[in-house]
Amino acid sequence: MQNRVIMLADFDYFFAQCEELRDPSIKDKPVVVGVYSGRTEESGAVSTSNYIARKFGVKSGLPLFMAKRKLEGTDAVFFKVDHEYYDQISDRVMQIFRTYASSLEQVSVDEAYLDVTEAVDGSFEKAMEYAQKIKTDVKVQVGISFSIGIGPNKLIAKIACDSQKPDGLTIVKPEDAESFLAPLSVDCLLGVGKKTNKRMEQLGIRTIGDLAKYDCQRLIEVFGKTIGIYFHNAANGIDNEPVVEQGDAGSISRIGTLKQDTRDLDFILQKTDELTEDVYKDVSSRKLSFKTVSIYMVMVDLSSKTRSVTLDQPVKDKETIKRTARSLFEKFLRESALEIRRVGVKVSGFSKEEPNQRQLTNFFQPT
Ligand code: DCP
Ligand code: CA
Ligand code: CA
């Protein structure tokens, strides 16, 4: 097999960059985008911030009141998340990416893998130039900057991309993969969270290089077959996952905070019906049909839960979302005793074609 050339593009400080694009006069100020929970004016958390704000220690997840405190005395500007606008920008960039890649896999609103093997004839030298061209094109057409990682597979492209931000362009050729990965901490690998990291530390594994050399059989004993083998391969820079065009790309969802913690079905449905209206607007404007409806709950203890139903046929109407959400909530409330704090509605499993109509001809087939 010819070696592959895979890119991962990840937009820089995305939500905040979108706000700068909308109003370039804020570019030299700290910019913070927040999710306001609606409880009090101040409650909520930082969704993201530009790199000026990050210098003050303001990062994703920080409570907003702390962000305000850290930025006191500066000319910082604060925004509420505006997903609709960010999605539009994202769509425009993804469309441009599509013209450069033989397949495109969008993994989140601000991230996508591009398989450019064909476009650059498998050459990593050409890939560097090609990536530069994509960056310039998007900058001119949309005005957004992003970082690109280039590697022989998705795993390496992702780690390469993360290694240099913002506006980064990092290339890791197949022959350099091992030396590139070896010194990095194991938590750079997908699937190594706090718990796994700790477990690995106990085994004397700190870097990806340590993991690469570690006995595979022993890894399987500790983490199970699938995950053990995955870790072994990943540490050795092996990843054969293809870049798959998501025919049913992603999902459309809305989440909101309830005015008070509750277990009251009608109170919850009032909120989810509102959210459904928004979801539906998005779905219908993109002329999508969907097969899966999900609900999402954040409980008072801040644990989160989801429930979903996949229908037999793709549908595209609002009532199905409402009806399904209702029955999922009815069932969920019977199962859980905790009060609910936030709720969400999501549809996924998209198709573009018309929903299947049962056609008369199907009933009258000749016997
Ligand atoms: N996001 C969020 N809450 C988080 C993390 C991210 O709401 N805890 C949102 C806001 C981000 C977007 O997702 O703009 C993309 O997330 P990234 O992790 O890619 O972060 P950024 O794009 O903001 O910054 P970077 O330049 O580090 O990629
Ligand atoms: Ca990003
Ligand atoms: Ca990202």
With 90 as the cut, is the pLDDT of residue 192 above it?
Answer: yes
CA of 110 to the centre of ligand 3 (A): 5
**What local confidence, expressed as pLDDT, does residue 353 receive?**
53
Average pLDDT, stretch 268-282? 93
CA of 220 to the centre of ligand 1 (A): 33
Reported confidence tier of residue 188, pLDDT bands at 50, 70, 90? very high
Decide: 328 and 308 in contact? Cβ < 8 Å: yes
**For residue 49, which ligand has an atom nearest its CA?**
1
With 60 as the cut, is the pLDDT of residue 86 above it?
Answer: yes
With 90 as the cut, is the pLDDT of residue 245 above it?
Answer: no
CA of 11 to the centre of ligand 2 (A): 4
Highest mean pLDDT: which range of 14-28, 240-254, 272-286: 14-28
CA of 163 to the centre of ligand 2 (A): 12
**What local confidence, expressed as pLDDT, does residue 249 receive?**
59
State whether the beta carbon of 115 lies less than 6 angstroms from ligand 1. Answer: no
CA of 11 to the centre of ligand 1 (A): 9
Radius of gyration of the chain (CA): 23
E strand or H helix that includes residue 31: strand 31-36
Which residue's CA is the closest to the ligand 1 atom numbered 8? 60
Closest CA to 15 of 35, 29, 33, 28: 33
Pocket test for ligand 1, best of 50, 55, 109, 110 (most atoms within 8 A of CB): 110
State whether the beta carbon of 54 lies less than 6 angstroms from ligand 1. Answer: no
Chain segment 349-358, per-residue pLDDT in tens: 888 654 444 4
With 70 as the cut, is the pLDDT of residue 211 above it?
Answer: yes
Q: How far apart, in whole angstroms, are the C-alpha atoms of residue 75 and residue 50?
A: 13
**For residue 86, which ligand has an atom nearest its CA?**
1
Kindly report the average pLDDT of the chain as a whole number.
91
With 80 as the cut, is the pLDDT of residue 194 above it?
Answer: yes
Average pLDDT, stretch 175-204? 95
The 10 Å Cβ neighbour count of residue 228 is: 18
State whether the beta carbon of 263 lies less than 6 angstroms from ligand 1. Answer: no
**For residue 158, which ligand has an atom nearest its CA?**
3
E strand or H helix that includes residue 269: helix 265-285
State whether the beta carbon of 143 lies less than 6 angstroms from ligand 1. Answer: no
Pocket test for ligand 1, best of 60, 93, 145 (most atoms within 8 A of CB): 60
Closest CA to 201 of 186, 216, 213: 186
Q: Residue-wise over 18-38: b if at least 16 C-beta within 10 A, else e?
A: bbbeeeeebeebbbbbbbbbe
Reported confidence tier of residue 364, pLDDT bands at 50, 70, 90? very low
**What local confidence, expressed as pLDDT, does residue 247 receive?**
52
Chain segment 131-158, per-residue pLDDT in tens: 999 999 999 999 999 999 999 999 999 9
**What local confidence, expressed as pLDDT, does residue 1 receive?**
55
Which amino acids are annotated catalytic? 111
Distances (CA, A) of 337 to 51, 283, 291, 303, 333: 43, 33, 29, 13, 7
Chain segment 34-83, per-residue pLDDT in tens: 998 877 777 899 999 999 999 999 999 999 999 999 999 999 999 999 99
With 80 as the cut, is the pLDDT of residue 230 above it?
Answer: yes
Reported confidence tier of residue 362, pLDDT bands at 50, 70, 90? very low
- Which atom number of ligand 1 is nearest to the Cα of residue 45? 3
State whether the beta carbon of 60 lies less than 6 angstroms from ligand 1. Answer: yes
Average pLDDT, stretch 79-104? 90
State whether the beta carbon of 193 lies less than 6 angstroms from ligand 1. Answer: no
**What local confidence, expressed as pLDDT, does residue 339 receive?**
95
Decide: 139 and 145 in contact? Cβ < 8 Å: yes
Give the CA angle between residues 86, 89, 94 to the nearest 5°.
120
Q: Which residues surround ligand 3, an ion (CB under 5 A)?
A: 10, 110-111
CA of 285 to the centre of ligand 3 (A): 25
